Amino acid sequence: MKKYILPLFLLSTAGISMAQQSNSGNFNSGNTNNAGTPAIRFAEIQTPTIEVNGENEFEIAPNEIVVHFTLMDRYEGKKKITIAEQEQKLKESLKKLGIPSTKLTLQDASSSLAVIKRKNKDVISTKNFEITLNNAPLVSKLFEQFDEIDIQLAYIHKLNHTQLDSFKNVARIAAVKNAKMKAKSMVEATGSKLGMPLMINESQNYTSNMNNDDYMYKNRILVVADSVESEIAESNSLSEEIEIRKITIKSTVYVRYLILEKDNGNPRVD
């Protein structure tokens, strides 16, 4: 039998051709390329991940409670009770409660011509004040004093806390920990191991509406028309207990984690 020996340069050329095809990833097992040569196709490698949402929510008591109230000229029978007289009583009431008068801020003042008892005309002056207190019991005592000196309109305007930003950060951290706990329990249930976070995104940082005009507390609003004066006088007293709602803080985060093989800690390949 005759033996055929291929020239060396032909063997070298064939090796280069196969290497080029291998490097280009152009091989596909069981298939052929356009030239009819068998090729191998490499599978695309995917790294598994898990995506979870974490949440945290809690309430805090406000330590800044802003109260708005109005003083206005009024009549008791034929006697006019001026704003100046009411202001003097107000300062005495604040002193009784241990509240410095410096906490009292004048917002605005105005005067207008009004019909009194449907016949006489008089100039009615008004002054709007704001005062900030740090706890609910003191606010309740203040409203009791408002009732004693017959302040016409008073309400809680705003709630706040001096450390609000710190509490928001506490909620964020707790939400991330909540996400990790969820992801870890689910991944370990599959026999895998939770890896490092690939993405953390805070999708919500919520603070309850701290402007409280929606539960404005009214006692008596002076109406100069005689027909409604008696009805207004029968309205609820300011001495009723005032409930100060708490501030709700909530954070929601989205986290994507890597899933690892439990034995060697390398990323799983699916």
For residue 101, the surrounding DSSP H or E stretch is none
Nearest to 161 by CA among 57, 56, 55, 59: 59
Q: How many CA atoms lie within 13 A of 172 on its CB side?
A: 12
What pLDDT does 231 receive? Answer: 38
Q: Can you tell me the distance from the alpha carbon of 134 to that of 112, in angstroms, rounded to the nearest whole number?
A: 35
Residue 137 has pLDDT above 50, yes or no: yes
For 71-113, write each residue's pLDDT tens digit.
Answer: 988 888 788 888 889 999 999 999 999 999 888 898 877 665 5
Q: Can you tell me the distance from the alpha carbon of 213 to that of 208, in angstroms, rounded to the nearest whole number?
A: 13
- Whether the CA torsion 100, 211, 172, 198 is positive or negative: it is negative
Length of the chain measured in residues: 270
**What amino acid is encoded at 68 in this protein?**
H
For residue 7, the surrounding DSSP H or E stretch is none
For 22-79, write each residue's pLDDT tens digit.
Answer: 444 444 444 555 555 555 555 556 789 999 999 999 999 999 999 999 998 888 878 8
Residue 122 has pLDDT above 70, yes or no: no
Residue 169 has pLDDT above 80, yes or no: yes
| Residue 196 binned pLDDT confidence (cut-offs 50, 70, 90) | very high
Place of tokens 């064939």: 14
Which residues, in sequence order, are CB contacts of 55 under 8 Å at separation 6+?
175, 178, 250, 251, 252, 253
Q: Exposed, middle or buried, 54 (CB in 10 Å: 0-12/13-18/19+)?
A: buried
Residue 146 has pLDDT above 50, yes or no: yes
Q: Report helix, strand or coil for 125.
A: strand
Q: Can you tell me the distance from the alpha carbon of 20 to that of 31, in angstroms, rounded to the nearest whole number?
A: 18
149 φ/ψ sector (left φ>0, alpha ψ -120 to 50, else beta):
alpha
Q: Tally DSSP H helices, then E strands, for the chain.
A: 5, 11
Nearest to 47 by CA among 181, 196, 263: 196
Q: Report helix, strand or coil for 147.
A: helix
Beta bridge partners of 70: 128, 153
What pLDDT does 218 receive? Answer: 41
Mean confidence (pLDDT) of the chain = 76
Place of tokens 């097992």: 29
Q: Report helix, strand or coil for 178.
A: helix
- Whether the CA torsion 205, 211, 212, 214 is positive or negative: it is negative
Q: Can you tell me the distance from the alpha carbon of 195 to that of 256, in angstroms, rounded to the nearest whole number?
A: 10
Residue 223 has pLDDT above 60, yes or no: no
